[in-house]
Amino acid sequence: MGVTRLFLGFSALVWLPYGVFCAVHPTFLADVAGVVASSPTALSEIRAMYGGLEAGIGALCLGALFRPALARPALLMLCFVCGGLGLTRLAGLVLDASGSAYTFGALALEIPSAVIASLLVRWSVRGER
């Protein structure tokens, strides 16, 4: 099994179940991250952004395991999504003093994922996967 498939499999195992869990149990984030829904609309927003979006990320990674043509798009998605999340979270850490176990745990996933995905995209262009 190649490095790209291992990375996409790992990503699917992280993102898909977490997204489904957050969609089903959005109040979970109140305890672990302090994200509290103050209205039904806010609860739906948490379900969508932490549930649906993250499950969708994992689903694309899972799909890429079965359809190799999806591997490059999945890696590019991880570059941009994880890069955007990680860089914005780092900015929040500086601007908002948001250091918590949740913040550091998310950063430990997002920044390495963005870097690894970008390296795998670069290697795939050269045919070095």
Contact, 77 vs 98, CB < 8 A?
Answer: no
Q: What are 38-47's pLDDT values in tens digits?
A: 999 999 999 9
CA distance 39 to 25: 15
Total domain count for the chain?
1
> Percent of the chain, pLDDT > 70?
95
| Domain with 86 in it | 3-126
Q: What is the pTM of this model?
A: 0.91
pLDDT band at 124 (very low <50, low <70, confident <90, very high): confident
* 84, amino acid identity: G
Q: What are 22-35's pLDDT values in tens digits?
A: 999 999 999 999 99
